[in-house]
Structures are given as C-alpha cells and as structure tokens.
Amino acid sequence: MNAPDSHRTFPLGDRTVNRIGYGTMQLAGPHVFGPPKDREAAIAVLRTAVENGVNHIDTADFYGPHITNQIVREALHPYASDLTLVTKVGVRRDAQGAWLAAASPEALRQAVHDNLRNLGLEALDVVNFRVMIDTMGPKEGSIEEPVAALAALQKEGLVRHIGLSNVTPTQLAQAMRIATVACVQNHYNLVHRADDAMVDLLARSGIPYVPFFPLGGFTPVQSTALSEIALRLGATPLQVALAWLLKRSPNILLIPGTSSVAHLRQNLAAAYVQLSDDVVRELDGVAAQAGARPAGH
C-alpha cells in the first residue's frame, strides 16, 4: 500500500523533500554530548535512512559538539543531489555540555563555518536560527540582529536558506521583514498544541513547519486511548502520533530521531498509517485530556 499523496512531499527551500525525514540529535552521546556508544551503528542509521527515501536530515554542530556532523559526513558524503541538510545555529556547548546562547554576529559566523567544515560543504542548504532560552517554549525578544547576520552570510553564499527555531509569531513576523523564512521548527506534537495557529499561518504561506519532539521528547506521547487506537489500526502508538502530525497539515515535515535502525524503520512506516476523520477526532480527545486545545477550538 502506498502512502497517501498528502503524506509524501512538501517544498523546503529550493527543493521538495519527503515529509518524513530524520533528526540526528540521538546520534551523539548521553545528553547529546560526547561520542555515541556505537559509531558504526550511528553510521548505519544514517545510511539506512537515505536508502529508504529520507532526503531531509536535521542536524546541528552543537550536537556532540561537532561529533554528529562529522558522523553525517562520514556516513553520507558525497551527498546525494536531492538530500537537504538542515542545521541550527545560535547555541554552543561548554566543556561540561551545558547549552549556552551564542547569537552574536561573530558567534553565528563561526557556527556557520564550523557546520561547513564538519559537514564537508561549501554552502549550507538551510540554517535555522535557534533562539536559546532557559525554558522549552519560545519567549518574546528581538531576533533582528541574528537574523540580519544570517542574511549577510546568505548574501556571501555560505547559507542558501534561513529558518527559525523556538520562535513566537512576533519573532516570525520580525524575521520575515529581514529575510525569506524557509521553515519554522518549534515544539509541537499530539499533546503539545500551543502552535496550532502558527501551523495554519505557515500552511497558508506555503512554509514548512517542522515539529521538534514530535513524539514527546524526554516524555514520550502516551495515553490509554492512544494505545487503543494504535491497536485497532495495527500500528504502534508512536506511529499513530506521527501519522496524526502528517494528517494535521500538509506543511508539517517530520524529523523523528533514533539511534536504532529498527526504530527508524518503524518511524518511516508511519507514512502508511491512514487515519479516518473519526480517528482524528478521537486523537483530538487525547490532546484535550492532556490539556492541549485541538485546532479550531
């Protein structure tokens, strides 16, 4: 059975990508710091992803730091012509692995060059400016200076497209006055629905929305109702949660991460899980029970 047409592809930058991609965060060591336990297994996951049609990989040079991008290069370079690598800047790691903001023009320039070197590229396909704050959700504050700095790097030919991560609608509007925004990457999943309005806004503009923690991150999406729905559909609960995101809006691109080839294959199979309107209403009930507000409410 083929995946529904609406599940297949969406434009990202100047390319069209398959809507289920891959995020590299779990390829680093514990707490996204240091080397992986099994480097060959990490390489196998990346190669298996591409062999199975993944042409959108999300990464960052602060994963490791540097290590994950070096593994991406070892596994996949020279890159396929249709492979889009999306990276993030605006964050750095200290010697103990702490996450620190690094949003000055000088820090962003250094981060772009670090990504270029470690990925083995002359230009980065898409660079997301990641607003680094102490909480998971976005927080208001001007992002004019960092976005302008990335726009300058774009003019130099080092960056092809600029995206945003962990931003508010106000920050999105501010960035769009400076540069074309290729995508937005925020926290969103079946039970974390604060960005419903932004998903719809971006869909109307043809801009991809890329949820981070699409399966809940450190606290996986789970409920008795979700498990019962998955059982009826012959799928896993996490496959249903991914399928719901695909169904939610055609501009949603998924980047679930894993360090396991078996889990990778399960994630990719979510493209074949078809949800009826009745099942979607049931899943919206799961969201409501978790305190989220389903779209349209």
Averaged pLDDT in 10-residue chunks for the chain of 297 residues: 63 97 97 96 98 98 98 98 98 95 98 98 98 78 97 98 97 98 96 94 98 70 84 95 96 96 97 96 80 49
pLDDT in tens, 179-238: 999 999 999 999 889 999 999 999 999 999 999 887 765 555 667 888 999 999 999 999
Calpha distance 252→115 (Å, rounded): 25
Q: What is the identity of the amino acid at 234?
A: G
| Inter-residue contact 69 to 62 (CB < 8 Å) | no
Q: What distances in angstroms separate CA 160 from CA 63, 124, 154, one per listed residue?
A: 22, 6, 6
Q: Catalytic residue at 63?
A: yes
Tokens of 256: 């679930």
Catalytic: which of 22, 63, 188, 209?
A: 63
Q: pTM of the entire structure?
A: 0.93
